[in-house]
């Protein structure tokens, strides 16, 4: 047995409509399930690679927030948003228009990334692949992270 791919991410959210709107409207992530056809308060999204890549499950406004600072658990998950810095700039503009908290940017050498918080404080990396990056050279993962100016 071996893992073949990361299939999907599931997030608990306080307000399903607020979170679904962020992924659907701000990030243009296609919604494939949810709303009135769901047997429980959940919404699923897929860019077409598989049945769903992200599932949101509502747990209510009284749920404990994600603790700040160093902690065990998920740091962030990444969503590819295009193939160029122009597309990444467009995403940045949409995030700013929506009042989304941007927490960083980075030039990883193989990706150009920006980091934002969803409505529940989950960190999402929005990235583009760098054309010509050699994915077979794993030393690229050890490269120092450089600033990214968008």
0.75 surpassed by pTM: yes
Q: Which two tokens stand for residue 13?
A: 């959210």
Query: What is the structure's pLDDT at 17?
Result: 95
Within the chain, all domains assigned CATH 3.10.180.10 are found at 1-61, 76-150
Count CA atoms closer than 13 A to 103's CA, side-chain side: 13
Q: Is 143 within 8 Å of 107 (Cβ atoms)? A: no
Longest dimension (CA), the chain: 48
CA nearest neighbour of 95 among 108, 71, 114, 73: 114
Q: Taking residues 34-61, report their average pLDDT.
A: 90
Q: Give 104-146 pLDDT, tens digit per residue.
A: 999 998 899 999 999 999 999 999 999 888 878 888 878 889 8
Class of 1-61 per CATH? alpha beta
Report the C-alpha gap between 80 and 108 in whole angstroms: 14
DSSP 142: G
The phi and psi torsions of 80 (rounded to 5 degrees) equal -75, 130
Class for the domain spanning 76-150: alpha beta
pLDDT of residue 37: 66
CB neighbours of residue 97 within 10 Å: 9
- 23 phi and psi, to 5 degrees? -70, -40
Q: What is the SS3 assignment for 4-32?
A: CCCCCEEEEECCHHHHHHHHHHHCCCCEE
């Amino acid at each position: 047995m071996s893992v073949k791919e990361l299939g999907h991410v599931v997030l608990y959210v306080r307000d399903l409509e607020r979170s679904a709107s962020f992924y659907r409207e701000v990030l243009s992530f296609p919604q494939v399930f949810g709303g009135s056809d769901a047997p429980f308060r959940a919404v699923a999204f897929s860019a077409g690679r598989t049945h769903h890549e992200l599932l949101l499950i509502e747990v209510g406004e009284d749920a404990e927030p994600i603790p700040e600072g160093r902690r065990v658990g998920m740091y962030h998950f990444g969503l590819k948003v295009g193939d160029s810095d122009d597309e990444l700039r467009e995403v940045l503009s949409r995030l700013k228009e929506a009042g989304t908290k941007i927490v960083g940017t980075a030039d990883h050498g193989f990706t150009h990334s920006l980091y934002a918080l969803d409505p529940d404080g989950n960190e999402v990396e929005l990235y583009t692949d760098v054309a010509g990056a050699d994915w077979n050279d794993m030393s690229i993962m050890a490269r120092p992270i450089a600033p990214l100016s968008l």
